[in-house]
Amino acid sequence: MHKYKPVRLILENGMIFHGKSFGAEKAMSGEVVFNTSMVGYNESLTDPSYEGQILTLTYPLIGNYGVPANSQTNGISDFFESDRIHVKGLIVSDYSQEYSHWNAKRSLGQWLKDENIPGVCDIDTRLLTKVLREKGAMLGKIVFGNDNEVDLYDPESENQVAKASCREVIEYKHGNKKVVLVDCGVKLNIVRKLIKQNVHLIQVPWDYDFNQIDYDGLFISNGPGNPDHCEITVENLRKALQKDKPIFGICMGNQLLSKAAGANTYKLKYGHRGANQPVRKVGTDTCFVTSQNHGYAVDEKLLGSDWEPYFVNMNDGTNEGIRHKSKPFFSVQFHPEAAGGPTDTEFFFKEFVQML
């Protein structure tokens, strides 16, 4: 039997969960959230949108298929969503030290250790999830020694997008059409999917004045945290809206575009994180199962009169996308690039590029 060191997860409401450590032995704090996907831990851990958060996986058996190699194609990682683990910690129930997969190179625990991120197993993750559902997402910390080993860290207090975004412009020349990708913490699968459409992709930092580029299309990526930190990006977007070039946004991109279009955003009680979120195209009988990861949502009430809701969440009625009534501007709250999750809405990338 494996001897794992005892470790505790302490929530800001004082609840203590006793578990065992299978990752790095490092105290850490962040916002505790849960994800209900049954597969995709490699993708989630490297998803920049989790910056500042401690991730709880509701599926209890984790680590089964290990962790793939960090190989690259065209300078882009083949299997991960960024170049590092973004979560502050990982909470699971039943961790599999032994993994079995043709593609795996190391165990999940080893990877967490290699990247200095704590992993906690043997936690009643269902109980923890119910607490978060009822009380709302809250801060928490993973400690090994005394309770004050680390202070509670609130990701709200900082601009997480700035941390997750690239520092300088990166170009991928795979075609002639110029697409500017505003990187608020972009997942690599978005980059892969756009490149697949043969475009000249120009990835710029979140606060970059992209209006100076003569682009054919503008893409605003996903990203972590509160969209209110990205006023600069929203300002830039307002200018872009004066033009007629196609704009497509995902997740944070939807929130920023909505803000530029007049709407507000607000924090959801516990967010949408999972691979089974149902959305319906407004005014139609067409529905999609989508992958999601966001703690904030768009309040459509103040959306400009030129705009309309595009998609809606079928479980709780929250906004899942907006579009301009006459111009080629649209955005979705969910993740058409999947990774992890269902691939049903991948067609957006093709549709977007066809508009250019």
Partner 1 sequence: MTDLNIPNKPSGTNASVKKALLLGSGALKIGEAGEFDYSGSQALKALREEGVETILINPNIATVQTSEGSADKIYFLPVTPYFVEKVIAKERPDSILLAFGGQTALNCGVQLFLNGILEKYNVKVLGTPVQAIMDTEDRELFVKKLDEIGMKTIKSTAVENLPDTLKAAEELGYPVIVRAAYALGGLGSGFCNNPEELKILAEKALSYSPQILVEKSLKGWKEIEYEVVRDRFDNCITVCNMENFDPLGIHTGESIVVAPSQTLSNSEYHKLRELAIRIVRHIGIVGECNVQYAFDPESEDYRVIEVNARLSRSSALASKATGYPLAFVAAKLGLGYGLFDLKNSVTKSTSAFFEPALDYIVVKIPRWDLGKFTGVSREIGSSMKSVGEIMAIGRSFEEAIQKGLRMIGQGMHGFVENKELKIEDIDKALREPTDKRIFVISKAFRKGYTIDQIHDLTKIDKWFLQKLYYIITTAEELEKFSPKNIDFEKSENPKFDELLRLAKKQGFSDFQICRALWKDRMDDVENMKILRSYRKKLGIVPCVKQIDTLAAEYPAQTNYLYLTYNGIENDVDYKGDHRSVIVLGSGAYRIGSSVEFDWCSVNALLTVRKEGYRSVMINYNPETVSTDYDMCDRLYFDELTFERVMDIIELENPHGVILSVGGQIPNNLALRLDNEKVNILGTSAKSIDNAEDRHKFSSMLDSLGIDQPRWKELTSLNDIHQFVEEVGYPVLVRPSYVLSGAAMNVCSNDEELKNFLQLAADVSKKYPVVVSRFIENAKEIEFDAVANKGEVLMYAISEHVEFAGVHSGDATIQFPPQRLYVETARQIKRVSRQIAKALNISGPFNIQFLAKDNNVRVIECNLRASRSFPFVSKVLKINLIELATKVMLGIPVEKPNKSAFDLDYVGIKASQFSFSRLQKADPVLGVDMSSTGEVGCIGDDFHEAMLTAMLSVGYSIPKKNVLFSTGPARSKADLLESARLLHEKGYNLFATGGSQKFLVENGVPATKVYWPNENESPNAIEMIHNRQIDLVVNIPKNLTPGELDNGYRIRRSSIDFNVPLITNSRLASAFIHAFCHIDADDIEIKSWNEYN
Query: Which of 340, 345, 348, 349 is close enough to bind partner 1 by CB under 8 A?
Result: 340
Please count the residues of this chain forming the interface with partner 1, following the rule CB under 8 A. Answer: 63
**DSSP secondary structure of 157-225:** GS-HHHHHS-SS-EEEESSSSEEEEEESS--HHHHHHHHHT--EEEEEETT--GGGS--SEEEE---SS
Beta bridge partners of 201: 172, 179
As measured in angstroms, the least distance from the Cβ of 47 to partner 1 is: 12
Query: Which of 73, 212, 214, 285 is close enough to bind partner 1 by CB under 8 A?
Result: 285
As measured in angstroms, the least distance from the Cβ of 154 to partner 1 is: 23
Identified catalytic residue from 31, 81, 300, 337: 337
Q: Does 102 bind partner 1 (CB under 8 A)?
A: yes
Catalytic status, residue 337: yes
Query: Which of 278, 351, 355, 356 is close enough to bind partner 1 by CB under 8 A?
Result: 278
Q: Which stretch binds partner 1 (CB under 8 A): 192-200, 252-260, 323-331, 342-350?
A: 342-350
By DSSP bridging, strand 53-57 and strand 76-77 are unpaired
- The radius of gyration of the chain from alpha carbons, rounded to an integer in Å, stands at 20
Burial of 202: CB neighbours in 10 Å, binned 0-12, 13-18, 19+: buried
Identified catalytic residue from 184, 230, 251, 272: 251
Scan residues 302-331 and list those touching partner 1 (CB under 8 A). 309, 312-319
3-state secondary structure of 283: coil
> Contact, 139 vs 153, CB < 8 A?
yes
Distance of alpha carbon 273 from its chain centroid, rounded? 9
As measured in angstroms, the least distance from the Cβ of 327 to partner 1 is: 22
Catalytic status, residue 272: no
Catalytic status, residue 121: no
Q: What is the DSSP letter of 4?
A: P
Scan residues 42-61 and list those touching partner 1 (CB under 8 A). 42-43, 58-61
- Before 340, cis peptide (omega within 30)? yes
3-state secondary structure of 95: strand
Residues in touch with partner 1 (CB under 8 A) = 1, 34, 36-40, 42-43, 58-61, 64-65, 68, 79, 93-94, 96, 98-103, 124-127, 129-130, 133, 274-278, 280, 282-283, 285-287, 289, 299-300, 309, 312-319, 338-344
The residues annotated as belonging to the active site are 251, 335, 337
